[in-house]
Amino acid sequence: MSDSRATYKNAGVDIDLATNLLKSIKPKLASARRPEMLAPIGGFGGLFQIDLTKYKNPVMVSSIDGVGTKLMVAAMMEKYDTVGHDIVNHCINDIAVQGAEPVYFLDYIGIGKLRSPLYEQVLGGIADACRAANCALLGGETAEMPGMYGNDFDLVGVITGMVDRDKIITGEKIAPGHVAVALPSNGLHTNGFSLARRVLFSICNYDVNTTLPELNGESVGEALLKPHTCYWKAVKALMESAVSLDGIAHITGGGLYDNVPRILPKNVDAVFSKSTIKNAPPIFKLMVEAGNIEDSEAYRVFNMGVGMVLFVPKADEAQTLKLCREAGFDAFTCGEIVAGTGVSRVEA
């Protein structure tokens, strides 16, 4: 007689597989640590002792985000390491705008059917990105739910950073005469993929392996999977300098139109000049032309080549550009602050 006993495995959840895959990448995960970690990954809760000697009046800054439908492109490419970088770097940038140093990160993977090498690639990318930013990978959760996700998966990150209260960057000092300095993006980062997929895969009938001269020899999939840039190195350099870094906006969903007003005082406007964004990744021009996308829509959905905007007094413009370039970013001035009503404008 056949054994008809129900098990978790024949219900779709393989605990042993999860355990074995995690063991195989534990050395990489363990490399993404800081001295403040009091226990290795694997406990019920991560332990992290804040070094209070580094901060006079410490404030914790936390953020949570996901990678979104970029995961669908990763699945089409069967390449999952870059989305690990995406979630870490997106979260770091979100707290960097307030001047916070990233100190620890946690991840969540919800998946229909756990499989290799997806699992190792995602977690490996997360570990590599954390290590590069000196951010501890404190722990995470993998939930295998065959009745929930089907063959898909979701990836979410939670980050905590630290900043002294008197060094928090709020934007309240932004005033007419300030300039906007752009840190360039390398692609879509983690926003706008629903529109990108519609234009490239439905309207143009491309697939991820399509190679186009407009993309300088890259395939569509390679251009779309460029990992989200981490800007913390430039922000840190500016905070340690004499530059008056009065506001920062991370250009994510909502683009220049919706993200910048989140930090603007109500009596000023930010005016950006499209003509200054000379070296935007070619994927943007390709999508805008192929999809007949209006400028107002493009600059609201996509970052259009600007991943982060720094607001400094005109007197600090040259030093800001210098320090950002020394940090490895081809920074450029992209706009100015004028009297207004707290909105952002993109002009020719």
Reply yes or no on whether the pLDDT at 12 is more than 90.
no
What integer pLDDT is reported at residue 237 of this predicted model? Answer: 98
User: What does residue 236 show for φ and ψ, rounded to 5 degrees?
Assistant: -60, -45
What integer pLDDT is reported at residue 18 of this predicted model? Answer: 80
| Mean pLDDT computed over 317-323 | 98
Confidence band for 42, pLDDT divided at 50, 70 and 90: confident
Reply yes or no on whether the pLDDT at 2 is more than 70.
no
Confidence band for 3, pLDDT divided at 50, 70 and 90: low
C-alpha torsion 6→8→14→19, nearest 10: -130
Q: Token pair for residue 126?
A: 């997360």
DSSP 342: S
| Composition of the chain by helix, strand, coil, percent to 5 | 40, 25, 40
Q: Work out the mean pLDDT of the chain and round it to a whole number.
A: 95
Reply yes or no on whether the pLDDT at 125 is more than 70.
yes
Q: What is the pTM of this model?
A: 0.95
What is the pairing mode between strands 332-339 and 268-273?
Answer: antiparallel
What integer pLDDT is reported at residue 40 of this predicted model? Answer: 82
Confidence band for 174, pLDDT divided at 50, 70 and 90: very high
Asked if 282 contacts 216 with a C-beta cutoff of 8 angstroms, the reply is: yes
| Mean pLDDT computed over 199-217 | 96
Sequence-separated (6 or more) residues with CB below 8 Å from residue 129: 84, 85, 88, 89, 227, 230
Domains and CATH numbers, the chain: 15-167 (3.30.1330.10), 178-347 (3.90.650.10)
The per-residue b/e assignment along 278-295, b for 16 or more CB within 10 angstroms, e otherwise, is eebbbbbebbbeebebee
DSSP 73: H
DSSP bridge pairs for 143? 110
Decide: residue 343, CB within 10 A, 0-12 exposed, 13-18 middle, 19+ buried.
middle
What integer pLDDT is reported at residue 10 of this predicted model? Answer: 83
Asked if 80 contacts 118 with a C-beta cutoff of 8 angstroms, the reply is: yes
DSSP string, 274-325: GGG--S--HHHHHHHHHHT--HHHHHHHS-TTEEEEEEEEGGGHHHHHHHHH
Reply yes or no on whether the pLDDT at 66 is more than 60.
yes
Asked if 330 contacts 184 with a C-beta cutoff of 8 angstroms, the reply is: yes
DSSP bridge pairs for 1? none
| Mean pLDDT computed over 82-103 | 98
| Mean pLDDT computed over 143-157 | 93
- Quote the CA–CA distance of 17 and 15 in Å, as a whole number: 5
Q: Token pair for residue 294?
A: 């209006």
Query: pLDDT digit string (tens) for 253-302?
Result: 999 999 999 999 999 999 999 999 999 999 999 999 999 999 999 999 99
What integer pLDDT is reported at residue 277 of this predicted model? Answer: 96
More confident residue, 8 or 165: 165
Percent of the chain beyond pLDDT 70? 99
